[in-house]
Structure 1
Amino acid sequence: MSLSQLFVPSVYVLIAFLGYPSQWLLLQLEPAPLTKNELIAANVLLACIFITYTKTVFVDPGQIPKKKDDAEEYGPSNADGKEKKAIQSRKWCRKCEAPKPPRAHHCKECKRCIPKMDHHCPWTANCVSHTTFPHFIRFLFYASSGLGFLFYLLYLRISFLWENRGLPAYLGPSKFQIAHLVVAAIANTITLFALFVLFVRNIWCLAVNTTTIEGWEIERHRTLLRRARHFGGFLQTPDGTRVRIEKQEFPYDIGIWANIVQGMGTWNPIAWFNPFHPTPSLSTGLSFPTNDFNSPNLTWPPPDPDRSYRRQTVKPSSDPSEAFTYNDSSLSASDHLAAFQQRQQEDEFRRRKPFVQRLEEQVARDRVEQFIDNVPGDAHDLDEDDDSAGFGSEEEEEEEEGYTGGGSQSGEEGWRNSEGERLKDFGVDEDIEFYDEKDDDVPLGELMARKRQQVHDAMRA
């Protein structure tokens, strides 16, 4: 049993500990026991916490249908029946061997693509996605409210004890009650702070209609724009192709009210707080309306040259001595095949080195060529060339911070945002998600269907 399997039971234990023994304790302490209304409010909040957390844990985060016809089984794509302009994704998941709808990502823990994936939460052992986000935000709301209410009740008792600390000890609570009060206050304060910060952040994400992964993508896009400014607006792919990097606005922010309605799955504000409200339909998470700030031909996330992988070509050889063999007697025939396919997939692409490392290597090569060609210039000129070839010292330090702690095996996929987060911190399969700009793995039928869709959209326009 791994440690992560204990997270969900530990959360249930924490809820029960802060919920039930604390009520007994508050009934014993001065200045007065809990009133009837306080007991009712506490237990209603506690029930809502249990219900919403259970739904967050056990509701299916969704699975992408592999065929378009399968999506019809999940209900209508828009609850109001109105046709809205939406971005058509051109992403292909190499593990699921299926197209990925917009805002979907491949979860490493769930081992499938999740619609509108926010992150994989270890404390719920589930993905926060299009279907589970309403339950997750309700859980954060009721947990923050319940912990805040408990904090208020504990504060009244602790402040009363402090004001009367000069009285004889036999007039106060027992040692066990004091120890219980201290432990409950510490546990409640820490949990309240963590959940309230998480609640505020998710409210912001709900209002602007972004997920935590998309927040990472927005910051990544800003970094690419900053890099491209130093290279005439272009960046290179692994095969040397120059790609123009242009600013794109986040397309799914369609207004605060519409964002909240989409995220909560209903326009009824009362239903937003209903712990028994049904889960949103999966079909509503396969396409999303956009704000039309960008051209309809653009996709999100924006083009990223570093996300194109370069296939390694190996020349065939007829010499048996050059053949690679692998044998593990503990594996069955099917396991041998699965292991071989995994190694084959890992060898198909090469991770790109971090941008700063590639920049330093390019500068070093330029300096060597300069000396070989006997180009005049002193050390001061070379320093100026370093700055003109890429970043100045301040911006280079800013880039280097983006790879701190990435590890020696990390390539450009180890890029971190300003909060120190990389893609794998959200639970996604980093190799599958980052290196997904190539169409090499997309079946011919899918490519033809995309072409027909483009022609159809052009004719309608």
Structure 2
Amino acid sequence: MPVKLKYPWMGVVIPCLLTSFIGYSAHIFVLANFMSWKLQLWFQSSLTMLWISYALAIFTNPGRPAKSFKPLKKEWTHFCKKCQLFKPERAHHCKTCNQCVLMMDHHCPWTMNCVGFKNFPHFLRFLFWVVVTTGFLLYQLLKRTIYLWGVKDLPSYLFEKTEITFLIILIPMDGFVLITVALLFIRCLSNQIIGGKTQIESWELERLENLYYRKKLLPQLLVNLWEIYPNEKTPENKVLAKKLQERGRKVRFENIVTFPYDLDIWSNALTVLGSPVQWLWLFGGPDSDGMHFKKNELALYEEGAAIEDLLLSLPWPPDGGRNFIQQKGTNVESITENGEQVIRQRNFENDNSYRKTWNNDWGENLEDFGVDVDVE
């Protein structure tokens, strides 16, 4: 569940104070007592990389769409009334940053900034250097503790009480930071590199699965199919679509929905991080514009393909982010009864099918990621 702070500036102050206290007190009161100057220099270099990456994650704009951007054919058209421009695929309007963010992952309270296409490499490098620095420090602190425990029978005047005090304080603090940031780092790698998805898109996929198991997804996908590809609405395909609906849950979720931007681990990494020679370079980043993305083979449209393949080629999200058809300003739901499509008025209050209010198993909704649902 994303963290919400009463005073947003505390999101930057807390990490800065924590990093300063752990990093510099550990060096002054512990590491300087036994570590070689080369290792001390390495530790400070790592700490400096952490600071610079953090500053870049804070101050680098996550990326905004060009005013000249126009949606491609056979893609959803989303116009942001606040930015007064079209939103590219994977972009969302952040309520806090007050802008549309390219490939928005989430709004991060610890940087007071969105994590998006332009600053995701800085954010990931920041997490990487936190893990490296705290991991190295924890190893050295534990190593020193084991040594002191081994010589505990020596006279007490040979030991620095300040060093022992800081070892007792720093080991749990450093271990806590290492574990929490490592888990976030792993989550980012799992989402963006292994799965090719932002956190919002992972949430979106869960939402679609929820609709599928409640038998609400397939009817909407078929409605969208005829909207995006009207040339495919042939009598033969209409019959096949009817048979597909009759099969219901016998149609597997992965046969009608695919995440189009997941290519392979290497290609996913290149998409969000750019050239591998720049992955650890402080100012390295992606090479593309963040408004158009390559899609995998399953998501490519082929005229005259089978119904299931046509559904897989729908733009993301395949339900258009609108589980219910909008008609004459009234919220109505599209369902199928006895093989016939029926449209009826629906009250969205307390309806967890509605995209703007749907919560996943973690209790997360779009607003928790910073998305301005009023302009979605």
- Preserved CA contact (<8 Å) 2:138 2:174: yes
Q: C-alpha deviations, 1:189-233, integer Å up to 9, x for none?
A: 1111111111111112223211000000111111111111xx794
| 1:177 Cα deviation from its structure 2 partner | 2.9
Q: Structure 1's 223 and 310: CA in aligned 2 closer, same or farther, altered over 3 A?
A: same
Aligned pair count?
317
Q: Which residue of 2 aligns with 1:146?
A: 133
SS at match of 1:113: strand
Q: Which residue of 2 aligns with 1:398?
A: none
- Preserved CA contact (<8 Å) 1:86 1:290: no
| 1:355 Cα deviation from its structure 2 partner | 4.0
Superposition RMSD in Å:
3.3
- Preserved CA contact (<8 Å) 2:322 2:355: no
Q: Which residue of 2 aligns with 1:124?
A: 111
Select the residue among 175, 186, 193 that pairs with 2:172: 186
1:300 aligned to 2:284? no
SS at match of 1:413: coil
| 1:67 Cα deviation from its structure 2 partner | 2.2
| 1:28 Cα deviation from its structure 2 partner | 5.5
SS at match of 1:106: strand
> Normalising by structure 1, what TM-score?
0.62
Q: Which residue of 1 aligns with 2:349?
A: 353
1:115 aligned to 2:102? yes
- Preserved CA contact (<8 Å) 2:261 2:294: yes
SS at match of 2:103: coil
Q: Which moved more, 1:179-188 or 1:141-150?
A: 179-188
| 1:51 Cα deviation from its structure 2 partner | 1.2
Q: C-alpha deviations, 1:221-275, integer Å up to 9, x for none?
A: 11111111xx794369xxxxxx979721000011221111111022xx2311111
Q: C-alpha deviations, 1:266-304, integer Å up to 9, x for none?
A: 2xx231111133x446x6201001013135361101215
User: Which of 1 and 2 has greater Rg?
Assistant: 1
Q: Which residue of 2 aligns with 1:63?
A: 64
Pairs within 5 Å for 1:156-195: 156-174=143-161, 176-195=162-181
> Normalising by structure 2, what TM-score?
0.75
How far apart in 1 are the matches of 2:17 and 2:74? 43
Q: Which moved more, 1:196-205 or 1:154-163?
A: 154-163
Q: Which residue of 2 aligns with 1:264?
A: 273
SS at match of 1:63: coil
Q: Which residue of 2 aligns with 1:234?
A: 219
Select the residue among 14, 18, 25 that pairs with 2:22: 18
Q: Structure 1's 302 and 35: CA in aligned 2 closer, same or farther, altered over 3 A?
A: same
- 5+ residue gaps, structure 2: 222-241, 302-312, 331-345
Pairs within 5 Å for 1:20-419: 20-27=24-31, 29=33, 33-68=34-69, 88-174=75-161, 176-205=162-191, 206-228=193-215, 233-234=218-219, 247-266=256-275, 269-277=276-284, 279-280=285-286, 284-296=289-301, 298-303=314-319, 304-306=321-323, 352-355=348-351, 413-419=356-362
1:299 maps to amino acid: P
| 1:65 Cα deviation from its structure 2 partner | 2.0
| 1:169 Cα deviation from its structure 2 partner | 3.3
Q: Structure 1's 209 and 27: CA in aligned 2 closer, same or farther, altered over 3 A?
A: closer
- Preserved CA contact (<8 Å) 1:87 1:289: no
| 1:128 Cα deviation from its structure 2 partner | 0.7
SS at match of 1:99: strand
Q: Structure 1's 48 and 9: CA in aligned 2 closer, same or farther, altered over 3 A?
A: same
Q: Structure 1's 288 and 5: CA in aligned 2 closer, same or farther, altered over 3 A?
A: same
Q: C-alpha deviations, 1:51-104, integer Å up to 9, x for none?
A: 1111101111122123239x9xxxxxxxxxxxxx99734222233232110000
2:205 maps to amino acid: I
- 5+ residue gaps, structure 1: 72-84, 237-242, 314-349, 359-410, 434-461
Percent of aligned positions that are identical:
34
SS at match of 2:107: strand
